[in-house]
Amino acid sequence: MNPTAAASPAALDALHHWAPIVWLRVHPYAYPTLETIHIVGLALVFGSLWIVDLAILGLLRGLDVRQLARKVLPWTLAGFLLAAASGLTMFTTNVSDLIANPAFVLKMGLLFAAGTNAAVLHARGAIDAARGTTRLQAGLSILIWIAVIACGRWIAYV
């Protein structure tokens, strides 16, 4: 099934011609500004998760992983909200092309995997860096987020 077939052509056309979306496409600084905001949000997410994941993996000795996670999580969430809001706004400027782009589709799948991984980790309660499953999830988190970043860059070239 064609991914664009799931969305109503009339709705996509209306979104494509909606004044705020047209403005985002034609204003010379709008889209680059959104991209910058998106990258800052992603940097906050990946940077904060990277530190916690490295600590879980035992590569940052002398840090209390639970305390570090409590202090860093608000920055991770803020970065995610920034990246999600700017990403969704960028998405609205070119819906048809993006939902047909394999790199974009893979990125969305990887974001779902990253969220599921985090939800499972936190559903178990306090982070226990001594557990093998927690360390496995930390390593998986790093790999998934690197793949998300790579797919984000590939969207323009696929």
In tens, the pLDDT along 101-121 reads: 999 999 999 999 999 999 999
Answering whether pTM is above 0.75, one says yes
Q: How many percent of the chain have pLDDT more than 90?
A: 82
Tokens of 151: 């797919």
pLDDT at 44 over 50: yes
What does the domain layout of the chain look like in residue ranges? Answer: 3-154
Cβ-Cβ contacts under 8 Å for 27 (sequence gap 6 or more) = none
138 contact partners, CB below 8 Å, separation of at least 6 = 52, 53, 54, 56, 57
Lowest mean pLDDT among 16-20, 48-52, 126-130, 147-151: 16-20
